[in-house]
Amino acid sequence: MADPKKSPPLTRDSVIAAHALIKEYIHYTPVLTNATLTDLASIPQSASDLADTPWAGQKPAKPKIRLWFKCENLQKVGAFKVRGAFHALMRLIAEEGWEARGGRERGVVTHSSGNHAQALALAARTIGVPAHIVMPKISTPSKIAATKRYGARVIFSGSTSTEREAVVEDVIKETGARLVPPYDHPDIMLGQGTLGIELQEQVERMLAEGGKERPKCSFALKGKGETIKGLDAIIAPCGGGGMLSGTAISCEGTGIFVFGAEPSFEGADDCKRGIEQGKRIETVKTLTIADGLRTPVGAYPWSVIYERKLVRQMFSVTEDQIKKALRLVLERMKVIVEPSAVVGLATALFNEDFRRMVERECGEEGWDLGIVFSGGNVSVEALGKMFEVPQAKAERQEGVVGKDGEKIAGNVAG
């Protein structure tokens, strides 16, 4: 990896420069809207929706939220990760003396169970350097296969971070390869932040083409009578924090608020809890269905999210809320995304703290809210299991029915 001390400053201008550096290698992914989901975001939740939540028995919020979806599920390798991988590699090969020291022959190494593995493999193949990818043995077979198809050498390890890092050290000793971490590096963050620049530009253009001009509803501009076209806020998923922090940097000085969203299951909301405690939480052990968000926030992202306070607030959502949001995207938008990608949407639809904030601050004006769909790497089998009817699942486990629901033994009620 390039020396972090020699990375560009973590500023919006640096994100714009990163975009210019990598734009020929990435997709300019679309921004979609959906009237049904926008309507749902602006309808109060019912009493049954709020039952068994911290807001049970309370009057539901009635915010006005217009949703804009940045579709990184349609990015190369199916996720935003390719942005950071290309930027990190472009910065590395530009490092003085790197090629003279045999850097191109030695290549790069990382550890990842999925999206970053594929992203670095593709970037390395494109630029012409070897890639050594350490993947846990329990990684999804389809992601292992995809990483190999991009030409990377895959080395297997145990599933813990300690086991992964030990194998990475062995690879570095063997090959002299340079480490490209998944998220905890300024070059990665600046690369991921390029999606924020695109999202801002795209929404401004779409609103201008639609002839819609509205006052921007934020503390920075409220009451000044300024009429602009653009986003009020962006909400993005947070695992290691590279994409959230990069997006926050891309919005600095624009008046656009940035929020983070995490699963709450088994302590996966480490960034939210860390902010509440005033200290970064360095370890997370969770099996949330949002498997891309199982990592603790990194030190460099933390410096942007918490210390510089470029992320206004973190929110968390339950597994059921993630599933509900995922089902809505699949059925109403006809778009394939992974569970990690919808935690921001779940926040906008179901987290009453977030919804009350929007209602309180903007009233009838409402917010234009950017939602980052971070990726779409999910198998048909995984989606089927996620939405399987419990009775059918139990019957199949008992050998009563086949996977397609066909009766194969005994009697099936109903």
Q: What is the CATH number of the domain that holds 58?
A: 3.40.50.1100
**323 within some domain:** yes
Average pLDDT of the segment spanning 179-201: 96
Whether 113 is catalytic:
yes
Of 227-236, 246-255, 335-344, minimum mean pLDDT range: 227-236
Q: Is residue 152 located within the same domain as residue 276?
A: no
Beta bridge partners of 227: 215
CB burial of residue 211 (10 Å; 0-12, 13-18, 19+): exposed
* Res 317 pLDDT > 50: yes
pLDDT tier, 161 (very low <50, low <70, confident <90, very high otherwise): confident
In the prediction, which pLDDT does 112 show? 87
The verdict on 276 and 307 lying in the same domain is yes
- Checking if the pLDDT of 210 tops 90, the result is no
Q: Decide which of 183, 211, 229 is a domain's last residue.
A: 183
Task: For residues 143 and 114, state if they share a domain.
Answer: yes
pLDDT surpassing 60 at residue 403: no
286 is a domain residue: yes
Read off φ and ψ for residue 143, nearest 5 degrees: -75, -35
Mean pLDDT over residues 104-123, rounded? 92
Q: Which residues constitute the domain of residue 98?
A: 86-183
pLDDT-based confidence at 142, cuts 50/70/90? confident
Same domain, 244 and 352: yes
pLDDT band per the 50, 70, 90 thresholds, residue 407? very low
Question: For a pLDDT cut of 90, what percent of the chain falls above it?
Answer: 74
Each residue of 51-106: pLDDT tens digit? 989 999 999 999 999 999 999 999 999 999 999 999 999 999 888 677 778 788 89
Do 124 and 254 lie in one domain? The reply is: no
Question: Same structural domain for residues 103 and 40?
Answer: no
Residue 331 lies in a domain: yes
| 6 in a structural domain | no
pLDDT of residue 1: 62
Q: What is the pLDDT of residue 225?
A: 44
What confidence category does residue 316 fall into, taking pLDDT thresholds of 50, 70 and 90? Answer: very high
Place of tokens 């490209």: 180
Q: Is residue 284 situated within a structural domain?
A: yes
Catalytic residue, chosen from 81, 216, 229, 272, is 81
Amino acid 389: pLDDT = 73
Q: Please pick, among 7, 14, 42, 113, the residue that the annotation labels catalytic.
A: 113
Average pLDDT over residues 311-324: 98
Residue 398 has pLDDT above 60, yes or no: no
Confidence of residue 222 (pLDDT cuts 50, 70, 90): very low
**Whole-angstrom Cα distance, residue 55 to residue 14?**
41
pLDDT at 412: 32
What average pLDDT does range 329-353 have in this prediction?
A: 97
Is 161 annotated in the active site? no
The half-sphere exposure of 297 on its side-chain side, counting CA atoms within 13 A, is: 30
Please report whether residue 297 resides in a domain. Answer: yes
**Angstrom distance (rounded) from CA 243 to CA 305:** 11
In a domain, 369, yes or no: yes
Would the pLDDT of 229 be above 90?
A: no
CA distances from 21 to 26, 94, 398 (A): 10, 11, 56
Q: What distance in Å separates the CA atoms of residue 282 and residue 301, rounded to the nearest whole number?
A: 12
* Model confidence pLDDT, tens digit, residues 350-378: 999 999 999 999 888 899 999 999 999 98
Q: Which of 120, 112, 124, 108 is nearest to 82 (CA)?
A: 120
Q: What is the pLDDT of residue 404?
A: 44
Q: What is the average pLDDT score of the chain?
A: 89
Residues 114 and 204 in one domain: no
Asked if residue 239 and residue 148 are part of one domain, the reply reads no
Question: Across residues 144-173, what is the average pLDDT?
Answer: 91
Question: Does the pLDDT at position 379 exceed 70?
Answer: yes
3-state secondary structure of 399: coil
pLDDT confidence band for 406 (50 / 70 / 90): very low
pLDDT at residue 2, rounded to an integer: 65
Q: What is the pLDDT of residues 13-23, one digit of tens each?
A: 999 999 999 99
Q: Is residue 169 part of a domain?
A: yes
Question: Do 199 and 178 lie in a common domain?
Answer: no
End-to-end CA distance of the chain: 60
- When pLDDT is cut at 50, 70 and 90, the band that residue 392 belongs to is low
**What gap in Å lies between CA 135 and CA 119, rounded to an integer?**
13
Q: What is the pLDDT of residue 395?
A: 55
The answer to whether residues 134 and 217 belong to one domain is: no
Question: Angle at Cα 303 formed by Cα 302 and Cα 306, nearest 5°?
Answer: 65
Average pLDDT rounded to a whole number, residues 127-142: 89
**Strand ranges for 140-201 from DSSP E:** 153-157, 178-179
Domain boundary among the residues 183, 212, 235 is at 183
292 and 223 both lie in a single domain:
yes
State whether 90 and 227 are in the same domain. Answer: no
Higher pLDDT, 392 or 309: 309
Number of structural domains (the chain) is 2
